[in-house]
C-alpha cells in the first residue's frame, strides 16, 4: 500500500525515472539488476512485478526468457502507461487488496519498492497469497548500511523528491519482515559493490557471497508451507 503523496510523486517524475536509466550509470545498474533477476527467477510461467514503474524489468524478463507473461502492477497511472507502451499487460492498482486471484502466479518480484510501502508486512502477505505452492518471490532493496544506502539517506535528508519519501532497510530488517510474513529465504545476491559516483569498466556482475556491503541486495524466498 502506498500513500497518495507517493503515487503522485512517481507520476510527476516519469521522465526523470526513464532518463536515469538512459545515463551511463543507470544503464549499468539496470543491466546488473536484470542479471540478478535472470539468475533468480524461473524461466517459464506467469509472473507479476509489483510496483513495476515503467516496465523496464518486466520487459527484459519477457525478452530474455520463455516466461509466458509478466503482469505489471502499479498504482502510478503515468508510470504504468509507459509500461503499456512497451507492450506489457498492466494493472493500475495496489497490491493490498490484491486485484489478482490467489494461488495463480508462478513467481513475483519487486525492485526498490519495499522502501515506499506504508505497511510492508501486509503487502508481503498479499504477495505470498498470490503465489502457487513452492513458487518464488524475489525482492530487491537498497541496503541502508552500504555506501549507496548512506548516500540515498543523505539525499533524502536534503529533500530529494523521491528518496525523501523512502524508508531504508538493513538486511536484518528485510529478513525479519519476510519471516513474519511467512516466507523462507533460500538465496541472497548482492550488486553494486562499487561507489555510486562511477561506472565500472567491467561487464555487469553479481555477488553471491559477502553481500552485506553491497549497495543493493536481492532476496529469494518461498511461502512457508504450513502442515496440519
Question: For 115-159, how does the pLDDT look when each residue is reduced to its tens digit (9 = 90+)?
Answer: 999 999 999 999 999 999 999 999 999 999 999 999 999 999 999
In a domain, 126, yes or no: yes
Average pLDDT (98-108) is: 96
pLDDT confidence band for 3 (50 / 70 / 90): confident
In a domain, 90, yes or no: yes
pLDDT digits (tens, 9 = 90+) for 55-66: 999 999 999 999
Q: Residue 30: what are its φ and ψ, rounded to 5°?
A: -65, -35
- Residue 1: pLDDT over 70: no
In a domain, 60, yes or no: yes
* Residues 157-171 as b or e (16 or more Cβ within 10 Å = b): eeeeebbebbebbbb
In a domain, 156, yes or no: yes
In a domain, 204, yes or no: yes
Q: Closest by alpha carbon to 162, among 34, 2, 23?
A: 2
Domain that holds residue 151: 4-223
Task: Provide the 8-state DSSP code for 105.
Answer: B
Strands across the sheet with 137-142, in order? Answer: 90-92, 69-74, 46-50, 107-111, 137-142, 216-223, 183-191
In a domain, 22, yes or no: yes
In a domain, 69, yes or no: yes
Give the H or E element holding residue 176. Answer: helix 171-180
Domain count for the chain, please give it: 1
pTM: 0.96
Q: How far from each other are the two terminal CA atoms of the chain, in whole angstroms?
A: 31
Task: Provide the 8-state DSSP code for 2.
Answer: -
Q: What angle do CA 139, 49, 137 make, to 5 degrees?
A: 40
User: Which CATH number fits the domain that encloses residue 28?
Assistant: 3.40.50.150
In a domain, 228, yes or no: no
Cα-atom radius of gyration of the chain, to the nearest Å? 16
Amino acid at each position: 500500500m502506498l500513500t497518495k503523496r507517493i503515487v503522485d510523486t512517481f507520476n510527476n517524475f516519469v521522465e526523470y525515472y526513464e532518463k536515469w536509466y538512459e545515463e551511463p550509470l543507470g544503464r549499468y545498474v539496470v543491466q546488473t539488476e536484470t542479471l540478478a533477476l535472470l539468475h533468480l527467477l524461473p524461466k517459464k510461467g506467469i509472473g507479476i512485478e509489483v510496483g513495476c514503474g515503467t516496465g523496464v524489468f518486466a520487459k527484459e524478463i519477457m525478452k530474455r526468457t520463455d516466461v509466458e507473461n509478466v503482469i505489471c502492477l502499479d498504482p502510478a497511472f503515468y508510470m504504468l502507461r509507459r509500461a503499456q507502451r512497451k507492450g506489457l499487460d498492466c494493472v493500475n492498482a495496489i497490491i493490498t487488496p490484491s486485484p489478482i486471484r490467489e494461488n495463480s502466479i508462478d513467481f513475483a518480484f519487486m525492485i526498490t519498492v519495499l522502501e515506499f510501502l506504508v505497511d510492508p508486512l501486509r503487502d508481503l502477505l498479499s504477495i505470498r497469497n498470490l503465489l502457487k505452492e513452492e513458487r518464488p518471490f524475489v525482492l530487491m532493496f537498497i541496503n541502508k548500511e552500504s555506501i549507496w544506502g548512506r548516500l540515498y539517506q543523505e539525499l533524502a535528508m536534503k529533500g530529494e523528491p523521491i528518496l525523501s519519501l523512502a524508508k531504508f532497510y538493513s538486511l536484518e530488517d528485510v529478513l525479519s519482515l519476510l519471516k513474519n510474513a511467512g516466507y523462507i529465504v533460500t538465496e541472497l545476491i548482492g550488486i553494486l559493490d562499487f561507489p555510486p559516483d562511477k561506472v565500472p569498466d567491467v561487464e555487469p556482475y553479481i555477488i553471491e557471497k559477502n553481500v552485506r556491503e553491497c549497495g543493493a541486495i536481492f532476496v529469494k524466498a518461498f511461502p512457508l508451507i504450513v502442515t496440519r
